[in-house]
């Protein structure tokens, strides 16, 4: 997080309270990053509004630029401007999606999480992060290289935010229920499964000085456990990853990050593994 030098802020001109801008302003002030404000629209001219926001930011001692653009849809617009402006983080306000619309069409924020090659911070609240709890959500039972990289990235970013806000780090990981038909005997007994997951999570606990009260390893679906723990600890921000599942599989199954988006009361920072980022960047270059 500390290495981010330029932040893309998606401005929604229909909103009176610019939650994304306020959050990005605070982050930029702490990590000394520049801001680029973007309105994704091709109808009305919002240059005057953008100029005012930039003037206010510069008066507060922050470097800021702005633009208005449209490349067919919100996601493509964000990705084009992200690349052209050299930004390393996207900050956008998230508004709850209409359930009926969500059942028929993939929400814009879901598309942004799937295709954006940079971390995406979706802002949902006006609450201060300072001295708050940061929840890192990982699946320690998944051992492939892609997930290992993703988990390390999630915990690293969460720890950076904790240092930035003088807060507390919590870690959550959901494990499956026992199955007598499982090929691995460990997954046939509840106690053995819980022990394996706690053991796998231990390296994160040791690296970050986490005690048992800050480790939330429990049975259940991740999309149920993560929001539950986030509410229990009053998380200011939840850090989670996505393996960018797309196509029919993505439409039918969805990623945990997408499923819990409207269930969380906290802001949510969504990351991708480094090799996924490289793959997406190669696609964008073509």
Token pair in block for residue 9: 């802020």
Domains of the chain, earliest start first: 6-93 (3.40.50.620), 133-285 (3.40.50.12370)
C-alpha span between 49 and 37 (Å, rounded): 10
Phi and psi at residue 60, to the nearest 5°: -90, 5
Which is it for strands 215-219 and 235-241: parallel, antiparallel or unpaired? unpaired
Three-class HEC string of 24-82: HHHHHHHHCCEEEEEEECCCCCCHHHHHHHHHHHHHCCCCEEEEEECCCCHHHHHHHHH
pLDDT at 203: 87
Write out the chain's pLDDT in tens, 286 residues.
778 999 999 999 989 899 999 999 999 999 999 999 999 998 889 999 999 999 999 999 999 999 999 999 999 999 999 999 999 999 999 987 776 666 677 889 988 988 898 999 999 999 999 999 999 999 887 766 667 788 888 999 999 999 999 999 999 999 877 665 555 656 555 677 788 888 888 888 998 999 989 999 998 899 999 999 999 999 999 999 876 555 444 443 347 888 898 899 899 999 987 645 554 555 556 5
């Amino acid at each position: 997080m500390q290495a981010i030098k330029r932040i893309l802020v998606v401005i929604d001109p229909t909103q009176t309270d610019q939650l994304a801008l306020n959050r990005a302003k605070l982050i930029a002030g702490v990590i000394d990053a520049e801001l680029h404000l973007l309105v994704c629209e091709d109808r009305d001219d919002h240059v005057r509004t953008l100029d005012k926001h930039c003037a206010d930011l510069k008066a507060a001692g922050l470097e800021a630029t702005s633009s208005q653009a449209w490349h067919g849809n919100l996601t493509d617009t964000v990705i084009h401007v992200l690349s052209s402006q050299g930004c390393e983080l996207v900050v956008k306000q998230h508004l709850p999606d209409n359930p009926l619309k969500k059942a028929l069409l993939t929400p814009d924020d879901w598309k942004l999480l799937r295709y954006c090659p940079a971390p995406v911070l979706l802002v949902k609240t006006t609450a201060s992060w300072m001295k708050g709890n940061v929840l890192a959500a990982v699946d320690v039972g998944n051992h492939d290289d892609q997930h290992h990289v993703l988990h390390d990235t999630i915990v690293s970013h969460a720890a950076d935010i904790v240092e930035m806000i003088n807060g507390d780090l919590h870690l959550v990981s959901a494990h499956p229920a026992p199955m007598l038909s499982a090929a691995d005997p460990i997954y046939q007994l509840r106690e053995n499964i819980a022990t394996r997951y706690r053991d796998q999570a231990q390296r994160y606990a040791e690296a970050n000085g986490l005690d048992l009260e800050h480790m939330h390893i429990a049975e259940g679906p991740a999309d149920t456990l993560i929001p539950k723990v986030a509410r229990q600890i009053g998380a200011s921000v939840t850090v989670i990853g996505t393996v960018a599942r797309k196509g029919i599989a993505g439409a039918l199954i969805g990623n945990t990050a997408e499923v819990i988006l409207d269930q969380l009361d906290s802001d949510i920072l969504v990351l991708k593994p480094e090799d996924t980022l490289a793959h997406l960047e190669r696609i964008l270059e073509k």
